[in-house]
Amino acid sequence: MLASCVYLCIIPAFSMQSPSVLYLAINLPWSTQRRESILSQAQRFQLNIRIVEAIDGKKLSKEDAAAYSVEDRRRIYHDDLTDNEIACVLSHRKALKQFLDSDADYAVIIEDDAKLAPLFCEGIHELTHHLKGWEIAKLYTSEGKLFPLLPHCPQAPVQPVFPKKILWMAIGYMYTRKGAQALYDSMQRFSEPADVLIARLALAQGIPTIGVEPSLVQIHSLGRQSDIDAPSADKRAPGGPARKYFAHRWLVWRTTFYKFRMRFKMRRLLSRQD
């Protein structure tokens, strides 16, 4: 069993077959401290990270906000999304579009409060060269129970897992072109914040999704929450009848089913190659 997961850890820098990875960091223009932190880390890890200018919730136009469905939101939830939460979803969608407009094979999209783990580069290499069968990889899995998807490989810098709290924090994701396209197409209309939306769409559509252990990104000491979706004045939706409660419970049950389905799907689909 052990021999099946042994491979060379040398990155084939000169191989023409090596896939290309686009690194994108979502950052508000006025959030200079976080941008400097991201660029400093990029220099330390020798990465070419491009800054994606986040959409500012305070300057959200009606045209930009048109994708947010108030009707869908109020059918299930008792509160509306804040302008910052809407802008955060649009910023992630903007980053996905930038990736799809490029020639890169993969994209790593992080928020501006991300702190790259020491084995970040080795983990990305593992995802691109050795783990096959996934389309979306969640890079932050530090909270909640994790379910292994493959037998443990001691030589691998990260292990593929399925996080119980997959609907939690959109601080860092990695995408294939296929996964990014499917997600982007589904984000043209939304009613949930970015972390819930990304995970729920991936689960509902069966887009092959995994997490990694240990996490390849952490939340920076600059703050637990990114400026991108920082709290703003809540907009309370009007109270609804009992059907709203049951609609929400149905959504929770359905999402739980989707998580179980994805976990077992990835145990069959995922493979580690030398």
| 274 residues of the chain, pLDDT tens digit each | 333 343 333 333 334 568 999 999 999 999 999 999 999 999 999 999 999 999 999 999 888 899 999 999 988 888 899 999 999 999 999 999 999 999 999 999 999 999 999 999 999 999 999 999 999 999 999 989 999 999 999 999 999 999 999 999 999 999 999 999 999 999 999 999 999 999 999 999 999 999 999 999 999 765 545 555 655 444 544 556 676 677 778 888 999 999 999 999 999 999 999 8
Using the Cα atoms of residue 40, residue 42, residue 48 and residue 53 in order, give the sign of their dihedral. negative
Query: Is 163:171 a contact under the CB 8 Å cutoff?
Result: no
Distance CA 126, CA 216 (A): 11
Indicate the pTM of the whole model: 0.87
Query: Is 169:195 a contact under the CB 8 Å cutoff?
Result: yes
Distances in whole angstroms, Cα of residue 104 to Cα of each of 58, 180, 200: 32, 12, 25
Distance CA 108, CA 112 (A): 13
Query: Is 150:272 a contact under the CB 8 Å cutoff?
Result: yes
State the DSSP code for 150.
S
Q: Is 39 exposed, middle or buried (0-12, 13-18, 19+ CB in 10 A)?
A: middle
Q: Which two tokens stand for residue 113?
A: 């409060």
